[in-house]
Amino acid sequence: MKKVSNRYVNALNKVKKPIYKLEEALNLLKEISTAKFLETVELHANLNINPKYPNQQLRATVTLPHGTGKKIKIAALVAESEIQDAKEAGAELTNNSQLIDDISKGLINFDVLIATSEMMPKLAKLGRILGPKGLMPSPKSGTVTNNIKETIADFKKGKFEYKADKAGIVHIPFGKAFFSESKLIENINSLYLSILNNRPLGVKGKYFKSIFICSSMGPSIQIDLSSFE
């Protein structure tokens, strides 16, 4: 049986209510985020969807007002004439031949891969490597583009893709525990609205079943859904 740390037990003992209003929950979350590293704060939304049906799948992108606090390393597969634009926009990896060779060997040292539509055929054979890691560029995720500078700039600002898992639950980071309460509120509200506005067409009735937040090493805290109304 896995041993639970005293730190976690102490944090869990501070979660005294079954459900909290958003502001109260965020205050508590910051209080119990006591790990020795900068903890990420996460939202876990249980949705009334069945992703095995195409019209009940959720996959979208969002840019949080204050980002997630994570530095993103971007690789860009673009025409030679656009390499300088990609570098100026913030892409760290722009050597096409080296990039393709590294990926083919399973050497993935980037967080996001952005490609122009004309370069996508070069990635066709690499889908088996990139796909399982969620790194295959696609128009739906915004990573296939013909506006390379703007797209890279957006991802550098914190744009990212999220999707529901097989159980219909969305797990998404929305900042760091050291963010101010106001920044966390703005981020989580933007995230909530993104999930709401991307409601799958096949969903009938109530969309959100429950929403929990937690830090990387902390217990979960359930949020009163009326906090977002």
Q: Rounded mean pLDDT of 66-77?
A: 91
Count structural domains, the chain.
Answer: 2
Give the pLDDT confidence score for residue 52 in this predicted structure: 93
CA distances from 165 to 47, 50, 217 (A): 10, 10, 21
**Spatial separation of the C-alpha atoms in residues 51 and 67, rounded to whole Å:** 27
Give the pLDDT confidence score for residue 41 in this predicted structure: 96
Give the pLDDT confidence score for residue 181 in this predicted structure: 95
Strands (E) across the chain are located at 40-47, 59-63, 74-77, 112-115, 159-163, 169-176, 208-215, 221-223
DSSP 118: G
Inside any domain, residue 82: yes
**Spatial separation of the C-alpha atoms in residues 184 and 26, rounded to whole Å:** 8
pTM of the model: 0.81
CA distances from 228 to 11, 21, 111, 148 (A): 25, 9, 31, 35
> The domain that contains 204 carries what CATH number?
3.30.190.20
**Spatial separation of the C-alpha atoms in residues 217 and 56, rounded to whole Å:** 31
**Spatial separation of the C-alpha atoms in residues 212 and 226, rounded to whole Å:** 13
Same domain for 152 and 84: yes
Among 141, 156, 171, give the residue marking a domain's end.
156
Same domain for 133 and 165: no
Inside any domain, residue 203: yes
Give the pLDDT confidence score for residue 2 in this predicted structure: 61
Give the pLDDT confidence score for residue 208 in this predicted structure: 97
Q: Which residue range(s) make up the domain with 106?
A: 74-156
Among 139, 156, 173, give the residue marking a domain's end.
156
Length of the chain equals: 229
pLDDT at 86 over 90: yes
- Which is more confident, 4 or 16? 16
pLDDT at 186 over 90: yes
Band (pLDDT 50/70/90 cuts) for residue 7 is confident
Inside any domain, residue 1: no
Same domain for 104 and 210: no
**Spatial separation of the C-alpha atoms in residues 203 and 136, rounded to whole Å:** 27
Same domain for 164 and 146: no
What lies within 8 Å, CB to CB, of 208 at 6+ separation is: 45, 46, 47, 48, 195, 196, 225
Q: Rounded mean pLDDT of 218-222?
A: 95
Q: How would you class 215 by CB atoms within 10 Å of its CB: exposed for 0-12, middle for 13-18, buried for 19 or more?
A: buried
> The domain that contains 113 carries what CATH number?
3.40.50.790
Band (pLDDT 50/70/90 cuts) for residue 90 is very high
Mean pLDDT over the full length of the chain = 92
Q: Rounded mean pLDDT of 146-155?
A: 92
**Spatial separation of the C-alpha atoms in residues 134 and 112, rounded to whole Å:** 9
* Beta-bridge partner residues of 222: 212
pLDDT at 1 over 70: no
Q: Rounded mean pLDDT of 70-88?
A: 93
Contact criterion met (CB below 8 Å) for 43 and 221: no
Q: From the DSSP assignment, how many helices (H) and strands (E) are in the chain?
A: 7, 8
Among 98, 122, 156, give the residue marking a domain's end.
156
Inside any domain, residue 98: yes
Q: Regarding beta strands 74-77 and 112-115, do their DSSP bridges make them parallel or antiparallel, or are they unpaired? A: parallel
pLDDT at 55 over 60: yes
Give the pLDDT confidence score for residue 94 in this predicted structure: 93
Band (pLDDT 50/70/90 cuts) for residue 118 is very high
